[in-house]
Structure 1
Amino acid sequence: MALHFIGFRGDEYGRAIRIFGVPDFIHIGWDRWARQEVMPGDVAVFARGTAKDEPSAYAFPDLRE
């Protein structure tokens, strides 16, 4: 079981860590790649939205410089 944080950009990240713990994976946004990485039994914590939302048609970058 893995913990995924999806779409966190600000102060809500710190609050999520206090509640859920440190994530195993951080996804910048909900795109098809993030959806593919969340496996049955994993916990996905969204800053906004849910796993039932349609993923973005555009991929989010894996790393921001």
Structure 2
Amino acid sequence: MEKPKLTAADIERKYGIRLIAPRPLVRPIEMDLSGPEGHRVWMTAARRVMVKHAKTLAALAKR
């Protein structure tokens, strides 16, 4: 037995949520990381990683 296909209008009426179209992919750009702007980008990325993985880094430091 095959399930009936729901359209976006059916889903909105039945569940009260509106489906949105997926965002287009954003391609990475090539950038020069030498110089003060590149250093700032690199340090910001490193800080973001350190904040996100703080518990893992702390556990590894205790070993």
Relative to the length of structure 2, the TM-score reads: 0.18
Q: Which has the larger radius of gyration?
A: 2
Which has the larger share of helix? 2
Relative to the length of structure 1, the TM-score reads: 0.18
